[in-house]
Structure 1
Amino acid sequence: MKKEIGSEFWTVEQTAEKQHLFNAFKRNQRFFLSGRTALDFLIKNIKAKKPIRKAYLPSYCCHSMIQPFLDNDIEVIFYEVLIKENKLMIKVDPNVECDLFYTIQYFGFVDEQLDDFIRKIKQQGKLIVEDATHSLFTAKAFHTEADYVFASLRKWTGLPGGALVWSNETLYAPASKTDSNKAYIEKREAAYRLKRRYIEGEPIEKKAFLTLFDEAEQMLDKDYRGYGCGQEIQEQIEHLDIAKIKKNRQENAAFLCEKLRFCKDIELLYKAVKQDTCPVFVPIIVKKHQRDPLRAFLIQQNIYCPIHWPISPMHKLNVGTEALYKNTLSLVCDQRYEIEDMTSIVNAIIQFFERK
């Protein structure tokens, strides 16, 4: 088998028994094609009951989470998320004029800064939407005060699609198109099959499956609204091997944090992995504008670490908030890998800085 770390998945970890994953949430639930499809639905669900003119979003987020608000004619304003003293600082004005507050627990690590903001905003009667994509398998997956919660499962494993919305509120008709976007799903599944064959050592050109993944994303960008989640994907979600996903990620992330905490050229955005935390990635701050050179060096070692997130014209950034986008790198820690692979990541990072 080829040894690469990171990039797109090629397998889905499954168990024979149905997991009843989200019964503990005790909320109304709906399945959707993708995270942005789910967000678009819940925005429509809210607007059917009350007007939403202005949404308050974090400056640090994916453009695909801004798009559904704009597509529903909602003005977006941002609260600052930035690095201060090598820590993530969230600056929310609880008194800002808005109808909806959007929050994220980044990378699966519980951030107590948010608790006080959410309580104050809830007291003012404003709606709270929580993006639980990163925190879905952390014990505190979301705040109980959240009116609506959604999450994308695709970030966690090799599912071609799949996202959910939860709410104590009534969720109206789930989607205008009850089937998933068939062309998109088929494109991603074809890409997974090719990547699996590549990883298993067959003479497959990487460009073949990378092109398919890229084409699928372009399809979703153009046509993401109103799609449900096919029955086959729902079955896969309900049989996910969550025990393996949690165990491997916790162990891998804890190892990375332990081995890199003394590396003077980087800072861990979160210093340790608590027992009830399940990270989606381990984010680091790379000092002295070395993020892009480090990432390029890791790619040379067949280690593919993503950047959260690409800056788009939809983002409204200042010098402080832009620095977070330009200096952070997300280290891979997922269930495909063991401690041996994490050692390769640590050694490559140390080697890069020793060359300087």
Structure 2
Amino acid sequence: MEGYLKPIGGEFWFDLNMISSEIDNFKENDEEIYLDGGQSAIKFIIENMDVREDEYILLPSYLCLDIVNVFIENNIKIAFYDVNRKLEINAESIMKNIENYNVKAVFFIDYFGFPHSEDTIRFFNNLKNREIIIIEDAVQSLWFNPRNFFIGDYVFNSYRKFIPIDGSIVLTKYDIKAKYDRSDSSKYYELVNTARSCKMLFQEFHIGTEDNYLKLFDKAKKEYLNREKSIFKIMPKSKKLLSNINIDNIKNIRIDNYRYIYNRLKNNENIKIIFGENLLKDNIPLGFPILINNRDEIRKSLMMNSIYCPIHWNINHSFVPLSFKDSHYLSSHVLTLPIDQRYTSKDMERLVDNLLFYI
């Protein structure tokens, strides 16, 4: 197609190369709950913990505000603890909150799919010994079975961050009290799956238009935000597709792309790399996060070349106080470079060449 430039980033589309009927990722056990996504997972955890009116949940000051909204909508008292520019958790900040509030649980994030330090893991294990519940957000890593570094009393994920399929696993050893016995009846799935199919036809066969699938994704997002706030179990079709995902192929491509970008950028003085390639172990990362000045201007320039880099995350001072300076710094400086299974080394070369041109 004349003038066509392959997009890097943006919403996922269906790719049959990801699927194999010979693969079965799910190994059913009593400690796993299968839900339709991350928001259902958080709501399930809230209900299952049976939080009292005087109890607080501690949240990291650097997070997706959709998480905050779920707690607020469920009338849960929250307080924030500090996270530094290296995305390391400030244990002292957590302890101050524990002194000031009746803390039921601490919620933490495995940022971009990377595990925390051994000191942080020991700290959380000590909190568990004090009967404080630990909730581990492992949304930014792709997994089907528990990772060695998981330590949460509750651990959950969200597949649509990595592949064009909705679903979530919640891991817990607690007895199950929350109900999740029905599927979503909104139009969201119809819209989002139609959008994914239209994007596949456009990307693979140049059928249709870019504007067509973008409008469908926008409608799907609005439907997702406006749907009933409930706990929905995973759709049977989604679970079947997820079970057949070739996770090893996805892992290899993502790690190769991560290492390529790392080696191209590691000596650049204008770019701060948060996670080194030495941390690529049992995890499958979401993307390649960097810290740069003039982030928003550079991001717009990349978009002009069909490179779409997401931001994780824009935090709002009305939710997260400005006193959490490092978190607000991260919010205005982090750029996530796509590394996913849709892209070859040539795509990564184009991405990095464009980035370096604008830095």
**Structure 1 length-normalised TM:** 0.89
Query: Among residues 40, 55, 67, which one is paired with 2:69 in the alignment?
Result: 67
In the alignment, is residue 149 of structure 1 matched against residue 151 of structure 2?
no
**One-letter amino acid matched to 2:9:** G
Equivalences for residues 28-177 of structure 1 within 5 A = 28-47=31-50, 53-83=55-85, 87-92=86-91, 93-95=93-95, 96=98, 97=101, 98-112=103-117, 113-137=119-143, 141=147, 143-159=149-165, 161-172=166-177, 174-176=179-181
- The match for 2:14 is 11
| Structure 2 Cα separation of the partners of residues 138 and 169 of structure 1 | 19
Query: Among residues 213, 222, 227, which one is paired with 1:209 in the alignment?
Result: 213
Query: Among residues 242, 247, 271, which one is paired with 1:242 in the alignment?
Result: 247
| Contact 2:112–2:287 (Cα < 8 Å) also in 1 | yes
CA distances 1:243-263 after superposition (whole Å, capped 9, x unpaired): 111110111111111111111
| Contact 1:59–1:317 (Cα < 8 Å) also in 2 | no
| Contact 1:127–1:147 (Cα < 8 Å) also in 2 | yes
| Contact 1:33–1:163 (Cα < 8 Å) also in 2 | yes
Equivalences for residues 214-229 of structure 1 within 5 A = 214-223=218-227, 224-229=229-234
How has the CA–CA distance of structure 1 residues 117 and 135 changed in structure 2, closer, same or farther, with 3 Å as cutoff? farther
**One-letter amino acid matched to 2:39:** R
**One-letter amino acid matched to 1:338:** T
**One-letter amino acid matched to 2:196:** Y
- What SS is found at the alignment partner of 2:82? strand
How has the CA–CA distance of structure 1 residues 292 and 51 changed in structure 2, closer, same or farther, with 3 Å as cutoff? same
Q: CA deviation at 1:77?
A: 0.7
| Contact 1:109–1:138 (Cα < 8 Å) also in 2 | no
| Structure 1 Cα separation of the partners of residues 350 and 41 of structure 2 | 37
| Structure 2 Cα separation of the partners of residues 167 and 51 of structure 1 | 23
- What SS is found at the alignment partner of 1:311? coil
| Structure 1 Cα separation of the partners of residues 235 and 265 of structure 2 | 41
CA distances 1:284-317 after superposition (whole Å, capped 9, x unpaired): 0003xx1111111111111111000132443334
- What SS is found at the alignment partner of 1:200? helix
**One-letter amino acid matched to 1:215:** K
Instruction: Report the count of equivalent residues.
Output: 343
| Contact 2:19–2:245 (Cα < 8 Å) also in 1 | yes
| Contact 1:94–1:120 (Cα < 8 Å) also in 2 | no
Equivalences for residues 223-302 of structure 1 within 5 A = 223=227, 224-273=229-278, 274-287=280-293, 290-302=294-306
- What SS is found at the alignment partner of 1:81? coil
| Structure 2 Cα separation of the partners of residues 109 and 145 of structure 1 | 13
How has the CA–CA distance of structure 1 residues 147 and 27 changed in structure 2, closer, same or farther, with 3 Å as cutoff? farther
Q: CA deviation at 1:201?
A: 4.6
Q: Which runs of 5+ in 1 are unaligned?
A: none
Q: CA deviation at 1:281?
A: 0.5
| Structure 1 Cα separation of the partners of residues 160 and 27 of structure 2 | 16
- What SS is found at the alignment partner of 2:128? helix
**One-letter amino acid matched to 2:84:** L
| Structure 2 Cα separation of the partners of residues 207 and 116 of structure 1 | 50
| Structure 1 Cα separation of the partners of residues 66 and 210 of structure 2 | 26
| Contact 1:56–1:77 (Cα < 8 Å) also in 2 | yes
How has the CA–CA distance of structure 1 residues 81 and 306 changed in structure 2, closer, same or farther, with 3 Å as cutoff? same
- The match for 1:20 is 25
**One-letter amino acid matched to 2:313:** W
- What SS is found at the alignment partner of 1:292? helix
CA distances 1:33-86 after superposition (whole Å, capped 9, x unpaired): 2101111012111118x7772100111111111122112211111111131xxx
Q: CA deviation at 1:347?
A: 0.6
Q: CA deviation at 1:169?
A: 1.2
| Structure 2 Cα separation of the partners of residues 10 and 137 of structure 1 | 19
How has the CA–CA distance of structure 1 residues 310 and 219 changed in structure 2, closer, same or farther, with 3 Å as cutoff? farther
How has the CA–CA distance of structure 1 residues 16 and 33 changed in structure 2, closer, same or farther, with 3 Å as cutoff? same
- What SS is found at the alignment partner of 1:232? helix
Q: CA deviation at 1:22?
A: 5.4
- The match for 1:338 is 344
Q: CA RMSD in A?
A: 2.3
Q: CA deviation at 1:142?
A: 6.6
- What SS is found at the alignment partner of 1:76? strand
Q: CA deviation at 1:222?
A: 2.2
**One-letter amino acid matched to 1:40:** K
| Structure 2 Cα separation of the partners of residues 286 and 184 of structure 1 | 35
| Structure 2 Cα separation of the partners of residues 336 and 59 of structure 1 | 32
Q: Which runs of 5+ in 2 are unaligned?
A: none
Report sequence identity in percent.
Answer: 27
| Structure 2 Cα separation of the partners of residues 129 and 166 of structure 1 | 10
| Structure 2 Cα separation of the partners of residues 103 and 88 of structure 1 | 11
Q: CA deviation at 1:140?
A: 7.2
**Structure 2 length-normalised TM:** 0.88
